[in-house]
Structure 1
Amino acid sequence: MLTHLPTPRTPASRRPVPATAGPRQWLGLVVLMLPVLLVSIDTTVLSFALPQISVALTPTADQLLWVVDVYPLMLAGLLVTMGVLGDRLGRRRLLLVGAAGFGLVSVLAAFATDAGQLVAARALLGVFGATLMPSTLSLLRNLFLDDDQRRLAIAIWASGFAGGSVLGPVVGGWLLEHFWWGSIFLLNVPVLVVLLVAAPFLLPESRNPAAGRLDVPSVVLAVVGMLPLVYGIKTTVGHGPGALGLGALATGAALVVVFVRRQLRLAEPLLDVELFRRPVFAASVGANFTASFALAGLVLVVSQVLQLVVGLSPRAAGTALLPGAVASITAGLVAVRLVRVVPRHLLVPVGMLLAAAGYGLGALVAGDARVGGIVAVFALVGAGVGLAETLTNDAILASVPPERAGAASGISETSYELGASLGVAVLGSVVAAVYRADLTLPGTLDAGQADVARQTLGGAVAVADGLPDAVGAQVLTAAQDAFSHGVGVTSAVAAVVLAGVALLVGRVLRRADRAAAPVVDEVRPELVDAGRAQPTR
């Protein structure tokens, strides 16, 4: 009589992942979407809270832009570093550490008492947020090995960004109508509690056993190089060429060059610059960057137009963006099906051209701020970005083996967050520059009131509220008209950039797809036997 001994339990980190994902992997995907939702909610909600923050903390125009983009800036500087750390220390472990830190700093941000404190809290959120995003994408790459399932999982993962833009304005708008602006940061806490409880049970630990050492000088160069570069762009675009702005640009560019040269010399670089020699990889990263550039800049502008020009409440403004978020989710999911019959070198440029068309429409309707036109603009841009980013994210991940998923996802997320940061910096600065140039204020305002009104549209609205009705209405109308003109100019600039990048990316991907196409072997008639052709070798 044979006794059947129970099979020893294998730790989750050592269980082989099946080629075809099962229920555990799909539940793991749900958990991995939580930090994605957090990042997108945090960005969108903050954009809708800017009017209240402008009144409560009285930031300058530069401080207001830093409140928005210091978070994606820190993400961009640290994502590759955190991807390498995840490869070495364990991606699930890094995800849990980052989630705990993100929750604690969210509380600090909620109770900031001035603009400087809020900028500092947002910077720390960027540090901990950098641990979240590479971990999610690299764990996803290790969970889903089947190509079709991985592409669908990435589409669902990417839809978390659009889903966050749905939840952020609606839930955040309700909070802003009933509580103070700091409540938007407390949204993160319950989501993080669910993540911290569920992740150890549903996500297997993974790491790269051959991961290289972390090069500290490269980490410093990556972060320090980004700060003056973005500051220089913001200052030059917003205030025109000057010694400070041009000096910051030159310093940032020089540090970036030093960083790249160091990576080329290192045996174990922080950022594998050689990957950019691959046309598909480079084109996909460039498309990712441009798409996030366009979307982040649009959210910043549209949130202010809906509230401060059209006059909607935060909740109503958020609801107006629902069609755009739904369009982005739908386009990402449809891309999974379309790519089976339509080549990616057509789909990616079509998505970016769709976003360009949205911005073109924005340039046309900027002077006539109606909700319907704004909804159409956001829907077109959202659909185009959703279509393009689903395919580019998949192309980036599919180009590397699973053990390099952390580094690849770090580069992918760096392009996304750097694009978001520069989208806010460049497009926000263009709007601000045109706004200040076009704004004509009544001579009855004192110097302090005029200065506040020229800094931001939110500041002008606050000044107008404290003036007599006739003068206040004059200030408000002048500020709204100047801001609308800035939106029109910015939309035209973005449309041209998107169209140009779409054509360039399409050409690169088309050449790569043709080069990778299998060669059909010549069939020699004399080798045809009984209806079976044998190809020539």
Structure 2
Amino acid sequence: MSDRRAWAGLAVLVLPCLLISMDVSVLFFALPFISADLGPTGPEQLWIMDAYGFTLAGGLITMGAVGDRIGRRKLLLIGAAAFSAASVVAAYAPTAELLIAARALLGVAGATLMPSTLSLIRTLFPDDAKRKTAIAVWTGGVTAGAFLGPIVGGLLLEYFWWGSAFLINLPAMALLLLLGPALLPESRNPAPGRFDFPGALLSITAALGVVYGMKKLAVEGFSTGPALALVAGTALAAAFVVRQRRTAHPLLDLELFRDRTFGASIGINVVAMFCFIGSSLFTNQYVQLVLGMRPFEAALWSLAVAPMIGVGIAVASTLAQRLRVAPLVASGLVVLAVGFVVLAQVDVGSSIWLVLVGSGLVGTGVLVTTTLTGDRILTAAPPEHVGSASAISETGVELGGALGMAVLGTVGAAVYHRQMADAVAGLPADAAAAAQDTLGGAVAVAAPCPTPRCSAPPARRSSAA
């Protein structure tokens, strides 16, 4: 395949990744309009936001194995068609229930796209140096979607109805369906064996249980339902591993983890996303609740860190062609750690630029690291299992993000609760409970209070949390 055709194929592959990551956050601004139009209940609002991420995480391993069997390009095109259809249904959904179902279908379709795009990069770029650059571009596309989601959502809602946030998927998916067959080569496992349906069921339910339980416990605090889901998901994951070891045709080749490069790369990805999502949980609250920015304004400010991240990825990709990858991955983790040191200096009077520098260093460290480990994951896996390997990588990212929210969110909440105990002394019981529970509650209590006794302590203490 010519270089020009390969890079054109990469451009086609980046488009769905951009949109998949945008779809996670594009509804941030649309939810109030959806609530006014469809009148969802409180639980329905939560499922409108969460159904996409849960089904995306649950389907990755299964869809990676399906792509290995039927062809990764074929699965990619099927997923693009399903993603388009679900986007139309979501845009014109007349009820909250149908919107939830459409969001769940979008997640399933997204699960077919992510491992297929990453695994096809290996086919497009057999040359090591070019593949590293291609993975850096792919990673940049995924990252750009996370940054652009709130901004695009805010802009669309200035001029159109909430359904437009879904219809932006259609042009890119149409381009993928038109150009994909010509630019993307087909690849599959030549001897896949029988599909492991019980293993697929275990994989999906285990991932759903673990991710659901972690995210709900992190956001809403302890409750019986999410805790049971987490325990059940963990048990099902153990059962999945046992089955994969015993069955003649496993859905997931656990021998991949015997390769230290593969196992270490997956572990580093989990840790990197743990740090990234966990820190974002706090920085987003700080910018909006302490500095008082509206979400759209905060999203625009977040673009200031994009050049730093872009330069970091470009430098790492260039050096990876000349140096060993391990020291570069370690350097990325050091940059990530320095970012946390900078963020630790933030208090209530800090400039927005201190937050942006810290967040930019964290983002640069994470993306440099995951770009390099992404290449190691692809090259460590045999060609017939590259789809499954890509799916494991993406599942690790989802798991790391969920752990970051659950663990760091819980730790942050505990520290905040303890340090606010003295600050709320003397307030009415209801107001004290609300202010001590969350930073948002403290802001709500402080806002109508005209005296420093009410407003100053919560603001001062929130920076320490």
**TM-score normalised to structure 1 length:** 0.74
In the alignment, structure 1 residue 195 sits paired with structure 2 residue 176: yes
Deviations 1:275-332 (A, max 9, x none): 1122111110111122223333444543443334323344432221123233233222
Post-superposition offset of 1:152: 1.4
Aligned to 1:229: 210
The answer as to whether partners of 2:136 and 2:317 remain within 8 angstroms in 1 is yes
- Give, in angstroms, the shift of residue 246 of structure 1: 4.6
Partner of 2:126: 145
1:409 equivalent among 376, 384, 390? 390
Instruction: Compute the displacement of 1:28 (Å).
Output: 0.3
Pick closer, same or farther for the CA change 1:70–1:378 going to 2, 3 Å: farther
Note the C-alpha offset of 1:160: 0.9
1:267 maps to amino acid: A
1:92 and 2:73 matched:
yes
Which residue of 305, 315, 319 maps to 2:286? 305
- In the aligned structure 2, how far is the partner of 1:452 from the partner of 1:53? 27
Which of 319, 327, 330 matches 2:308?
327
Q: How does 1:247-326 map to 2 (within 5 A)?
A: 247-326=228-307
1:94-493 pair list within 5 angstroms:
94-110=75-91, 120-179=101-160, 183-234=164-215, 244=225, 246-368=227-349, 370-428=351-409, 430-431=411-412, 438=420, 440=424, 469-470=448-449, 484-485=462-463, 489=465
- Kindly indicate whether the alpha-carbon contact (under 8 Å) linking 2:28 and 2:153 is maintained by their aligned counterparts in 1: no
Matches within 5 A, 1:54-65: none
Deviation at residue 23 of structure 1 after TM alignment: 0.8
Amino acid at match of 1:219: A
- Of 51, 73, 78, which residue of structure 1 is paired with 2:54? 73
- The whole-number CA distance in structure 2 between the counterparts of 1:416 and 1:53 is 29
Cα 1:202/1:379, change in 2 over 3 Å: same
Query: Displacement, 1:351?
Result: 0.8
Task: Give CA deviations for 1:462-520 in whole Å, capped at 9, x if unaligned.
Answer: x679x9x54799988787667x45xx65xxxxxxxxxxxxxxxxxxxxxxxxxxxxxxx
Which deviates more from structure 2 when the two are superposed, residues 168-177 or residues 202-211? 168-177
Change in Cα spacing, 1:108 to 1:458, as seen in structure 2 (3 Å) is: farther
Mean CA deviation greater in 198-207 or 416-425 = 416-425
Residues 243 and 420 of structure 1: CA distance in aligned 2, closer, same or farther (over 3 Å): closer
Partner residue of 2:17 out of 33, 36, 51: 36
The alpha-carbon deviation at position 414 of structure 1 amounts to: 1.6
Q: Which amino acid aligns with 2:126?
A: L
Is residue 196–residue 251 contact of structure 2 (8 Å, CA) maintained in 1? yes
AA matched with 1:256? A
- Alpha-carbon distance in structure 2 between the residues aligned to 1:343 and 1:210: 34
Q: In terms of mean alpha carbon deviation, does 314-323 or 45-54 score higher?
A: 45-54
Deviation at 1:338, TM superposition (A): 1.4
CA RMSD in angstroms comes to 3.9
Q: What SS is found at the alignment partner of 1:321?
A: helix
SS at match of 1:365: coil
* Alignment-mate amino acid for residue 165 of structure 1: A
* 8 Å Cα contact 1:324/1:381 also seen in 2: no
Gaps of 5+ in 1: 1-17, 490-537
Spell out, residue by residue over 1:327-364, the C-alpha distance to the aligned partner (whole angstroms, 9 max, x if none). 23322222222123432222112212212222332232
* Contact kept? 1:221, 1:256, Cα under 8 Å: yes
CA gap 1:222/1:118 in 2 versus in 1, 3 angstroms:
same
Which amino acid is 1:281 matched to? F
Aligned length: 461
**Once structures 1 and 2 are overlaid, which stretch shifts more, 204-213 or 182-191?**
182-191
Please give the alpha-carbon distance, in whole angstroms, between the structure 2 residues aligned to 1:59 and 1:459: 22
Higher mean C-alpha deviation, range 69-78 or range 332-341: 69-78
| Aligned partners of 1:441 and 1:478 also within 8 Å | no
Q: Take 2:66 and 2:254, find their aligned partners in 1: how far apart are those partners?
A: 18
| Change in CA separation of 1:243 and 1:68 when aligned onto 2, cut-off 3 Å | closer
What amino acid maps onto 1:36 in structure 2? C
Q: What displacement does 1:240 show? A: 6.4
Quote the Cα distance in structure 2 between the aligned partners of 1:454 and 1:68: 26
* Mapped contact 2:150–2:296 kept (Cα < 8 A): yes
- Contact 1:156-1:333 at 8 Å conserved across structures: no
> Where does the alignment leave 5 or more consecutive residues of structure 2 unmatched?
none
Asked if structure 2 preserves the Cα contact closer than 8 Å seen for 1:324 and 1:375, the reply is: yes
How high is the TM-score relative to the length of structure 2?
Answer: 0.84
CA offset digits 1:407-440 (Å, max 9, x no partner): 2111122212222333344444555666677495
SS at match of 1:145: coil
CA distance in 2, matches of 1:218, 1:346: 37
The offset of 1:200, in angstroms, is 2.3
Q: What is the identity percentage for the equivalent residue pairs of Structure 1 and Structure 2?
A: 46
**CA gap 1:304/1:473 in 2 versus in 1, 3 angstroms:** farther
Say whether the 8 Å CA contact 1:218–1:270 is kept in structure 2.
Answer: yes
In structure 2, the residue matched to 1:492 is none
Q: Is the 8 A contact 2:339 2:359 kept in 1?
A: yes
Q: CA offset at residue 108 of structure 1?
A: 4.2
- Which letter maps to 2:149? G
